[in-house]
Structure 1
């Protein structure tokens, strides 16, 4: 299975320490169609023997799924791409957008926007290693290299390398002086620049990312670009994923009920705990399900405080979900 262009209309962004396999399992039961991403994995870590652990995922549940790689050595990235393809990922994405010091020290992430020729060589090498789609996630600029001309120069090299799609975070990145968190908030968003980029590239799919928080905002962006990517909004308010299939994929099947989701996650937690996972590692991705709902505080307390205690059981999930159910019932009655 390869990612089709229409699949990318909605995706959940790759986020370090967040979009792990437990998170993706949970998100997949909220949306059957959204494209999910792994956390960024370095090509070096994969080819040095970490593939079995780093690329492991639930093949029966998580598709469509893209693997995101970090690296700058074309041959190394080609080898890592081949491993991702072997594991059955539907798309392989190259990170050219992360601004953290740790990433820069390894010469990958956003600093590579200063070297479009090298990124193009990486894309070509990755394409030669698989028939899976090869995509790039980037910013609209870095440091003082942030003009529209600079962005188009970078993207023209991606076009020449025959990249399959570009995910564009609509902020520049400051490589020095700002933390990764500040780089998600301080540089101003410039959606119009991404819209103009779409006109410049023609048929190449452009997917927009950065500061998008609601389904209605997604619909507005889709009037100008081919897809939207949500990160923290989808994580902190995962309930919005329940509307994705109907709003973007024309799927009129009812979203999963709270009761069914509870049963799924309890069963999953029981299985994963026999394999060594801790309950709090699984349920931490579910905290946002109470976003804006009555009882959300108690719900979060159960899933944070109680799940780390000795002997904590997946039945805590049922207790937490019951709080949400009661809150919904009270809200409907009022």
Structure 2
């Protein structure tokens, strides 16, 4: 059974929703919290310099219902990461996570993300500076390696050096990354998954908290991974088919499954509050388009929201229209 609250009890099995650029904004996370009351939620990656110098309301703002919620930082300068971590802690985040896994060209150009797998000493310095700056947990999300790195011992050595700096929680995307020649999308699909490396790490370093990420899409897969690791991190499956996230959370926490329409209507107070503040409906409903994936009326649900949410004055009534389309499909023929 998963037990996860604002204090982030790492001694219990956990489920988390991966940080995903352009997707896991606050609107998305509030919806995911309704789907998965026990899950850990993550922001999109934000660079430390942006946190220090940018619009913090836009970059760091979140709703209290999101707890436990972690901020994911990008960067490679210990002093700046420490300062950004302190700011995030002051904003109320429950955890600070360092991105050592993103392989995009833009991220590499800034010398952060997956390319840091080649510089474990620097990552260790960053982690040590962040840990010294805050009292909330500092964690790392990493890959198995990059480019020609094919040796488990190199991956293990990376973890050894970073854990020696004080990090004890690792979210392991169980693929390596190619820094040249593959797009970020291809880097999520082409390098083979090696779950056994994460399993082996947990066996060899049982005192570390090891959570696994990559290609996890079903309750059965979650259960299997939790036999070998401390947690799972769900990525695109949670976004494209959000009801799967609800099924995972309910199965692992022993909770009851709720119907899709009921879950969506529970989001209404938040949506209407945001509408009253001038937020356009389209910025919120884009995160729920897959709620009725492969269900009767699912295509109509998606179409109604996609075509209508961008129109001036669009409000909750459009969501009810979309829900009505799914209800019609379920109605028995006369």
Select the residue among 315, 322, 325 that pairs with 1:323.
Answer: 325
Give 3-state SS (helix, strand or coil) of 1:141's partner: coil
Q: Deviations over 1:137-183 (max 9, x none)?
A: 00011001231111011000122012130000011100011100000
| Distance in 1 between residues matched to 2:185 and 2:250, nearest whole Å | 32
Matched ranges for 1:71-86 at <5 A: 71-86=75-90
1:40 aligns with 2:45: yes
User: 1:145-164 residue pairs with structure 2 within 5 A?
Assistant: 145-164=149-168
Alignment partner, residue 130 of structure 2? 126
Query: Following the alignment from structure 1 to structure 2, what is the Cα–Cα distance between the partners of residues 64 and 144?
Result: 37
RMSD: 1.6
Find the aligned partners of 1:19 and 1:87 in 2 and give their Cα distance. Answer: 18
Aligned residue among 90, 93, 97 for 1:93: 97
Q: Number of residues paired by the alignment? A: 328
Deviation, structure 1 residue 269: 2.1
Q: Secondary structure at the match of 1:241?
A: helix
Measure how far apart 1:295 and its partner are.
0.9
SS at match of 1:5: coil
What is the alpha-carbon distance in structure 2 between the residues aligned to residue 114 and residue 258 of structure 1? 44
Task: Please say if residues 275 and 315 of structure 2, whose CA atoms lie closer than 8 Å, have aligned partners that are also in contact.
Answer: no
Contiguous gaps of at least 5 residues in structure 1: none
Relative to structure 1, is the Cα distance of residues 40 and 210 closer, same or farther in structure 2, using a 3 angstrom cutoff? Answer: same
Q: Does 1:26 align with 2:31?
A: yes
Question: What does 1:239-250 align with in structure 2 at a 5 Å threshold?
Answer: 239-250=243-254
The structural deviation recorded for 1:199 is: 1.3
What TM-score comes out, normalization by structure 1 length? 0.94
Higher deviation after alignment, 131-140 or 234-243 = 234-243
Aligned position for 1:55: 60
After TM superposition, which residue ranges in structure 1, 4 or more long, deviate above 6 angstroms?
none
Mapped to 2, the partners of 1:216 and 1:258 lie a distance apart of 21
Change (3 A) 1:129 1:37: same
Cα distance between partner residues in 2 of 1:128 and 1:187:
35
8 Å contact from structure 1 (residues 8, 34) kept in 2: no
Partner Cα separation in structure 1 for residue 36 and residue 116 of structure 2: 33
Deviations 1:87-135 (A, max 9, x none): 1111110000000001111110000010000000111111011110110
Q: Secondary structure at the match of 1:68?
A: strand
Aligned to 1:283: 285
Q: 1:143 aligns with which of 142, 147, 151?
A: 147
Cα distance in structure 1, aligned partners of 2:210 and 2:19? 17
2:109 is aligned to 105
| Maintained 8 Å contact 2:216/2:222 | yes
Structure 1 CA distance, aligned partners of 2:323 and 2:295?
12
Return closer, same or farther for 1:92/1:208 CA change in 2, 3 Å cut-off. Answer: same
Query: In the aligned structure 1, how far is the partner of 2:239 from the partner of 2:13?
Result: 18
Q: In structure 2, what is the Cα distance between the partners aligned to 1:267 and 1:236?
A: 23
Write the distance in 1 (CA, Å) between the matches of 2:249 and 2:240. Answer: 19
For residue 322 of structure 1, report the CA deviation from its aligned partner. Answer: 2.2
Deviation (angstroms), 1:259: 4.4
Give the corresponding residue for 1:199.
203
User: Is residue 216 of structure 2 the alignment partner of residue 212 of structure 1?
Assistant: yes
Give the conservation status (yes or no) of the 8 Å contact 1:71–1:109: yes
The aligned residue for residue 308 of structure 1 is 310
